Amino acid sequence: MSKLVLTPSQTVGPFFSSCLLCEGACRNVLIQPETKGERIRIEGRVIDGDGLPVPDSMIEIWQANADGRYNHSTDRGMAVLDPTFTGFGRAGTDEQGYYWFETVKPGAVRFDDTRLQAPHVCVTIFARGLLNHLVTRLYFADEAANADDPVLNCVPEERRGTLVAKRKVESGVVVYCFDIILQGAGETAFFNV
């Protein structure tokens, strides 16, 4: 009788640069000249549990337009659809773990019949060593609506800050800084979806 041998565990990647971020697939500029809304830049780093940058990871974002409408067939809300804005972007990280997007600040979207969600961006992270992608949200530090957001309020209070992008202005451009910490001290809150 032969002896059973287990297959050794494997991690994912690194294949994002050569496959998923090839020419035409990487779209970190979501806006066109005619896109409505406040232009913003989202930037940050992906950092591992040792505080080191995670190069060759991929960040995807999905967001509503400036009026609070997703460019998706299931969003049948009353907000205006902007045909120049898809709301989807993809960016790779560089050798220092940096990524960036140029987009518009999203509007509030419905949570249910009586409540709105604060403006936010859905963020998905793919990286070597992760067998499953990670999902989180980016909220904006200057939004008073964060205090009443039904999703943000489900996150333990001491971890909510990991979902809030800090605002600064550089050369007249509004920039929201959002570092993604994969584990350890200050780990970003991730959602099990």
Split into its structural domains, the chain has a count of: 1
Query: Does residue 115 carry a pLDDT above 70?
Result: yes
| CA–CA gap between residue 101 and residue 41 (Å, rounded) | 6
Q: Which two tokens stand for residue 82?
A: 């902007």
pLDDT grade for 188, boundaries at 50, 70 and 90: very high
**E strands present in 5-65:** 39-47, 58-63
Residue 72 lies in a domain: yes
What are the backbone dihedrals phi and psi of residue 121, each rounded to the nearest 5 degrees, phi first? -125, 130
83 assigned to some structural domain: yes
| Residue numbers of the domain that contains 118 | 30-181
Residue 128 has pLDDT above 90, yes or no: no
Residue 57 covered by a domain: yes
Whether the CB-CB separation of 68 and 19 falls below 8 Å is answered with no
- Assign residue 82 the CATH number of its domain: 2.60.130.10
Residue 27 pLDDT grade (very low, low, confident, very high; cuts 50, 70, 90): confident
Among 14-23, 30-39, 67-76, the least confident range: 14-23
Evaluate whether residue 90 is within a structural domain: yes
Indicate the range of 3-7, 21-25, 91-95, 101-105 predicted with least confidence: 21-25
Give the rounded percent of residues in the chain with a pLDDT score beyond 90: 75
Euclidean distance between the first and the last CA atom of the chain, given in angstroms as a whole number: 43
pLDDT band at 12 (very low <50, low <70, confident <90, very high): low
Q: What is the pTM for the complete model shown?
A: 0.87
State whether residue 193 is helix, strand or coil. Answer: coil
Instruction: Retrieve residue 36's tokens.
Output: 């409505």
The alpha helices in 31-90, defined as continuous H runs, are: none
- Does a structural domain hold residue 16? no
Residue 146 near residue 138 (C-beta atoms within 8 A)? no
Q: Does some domain include residue 67?
A: yes
Q: Is the model's pLDDT at 17 over the cut of 80?
A: no
pLDDT at 117 over 60: yes
Under a CB-based contact definition with an 8 Å cutoff, are residues 53 and 96 in contact? yes
| Predicted local confidence at residue 77, as pLDDT | 79
| pLDDT per residue as tens digits for the range 41-76 | 999 999 999 999 999 899 999 999 999 999 888 887
Q: How far is CA 23 from each of CA 3, 17, 26, 41, 55, rounded to the nearest angstrom?
A: 47, 10, 7, 21, 18
Rounded CA separation 144/96 (Å)? 33
Tell me the average pLDDT of the chain.
89
- The answer, yes or no, to whether residue 13 has pLDDT greater than 60, is no
Q: What is the DSSP letter of 21?
A: T
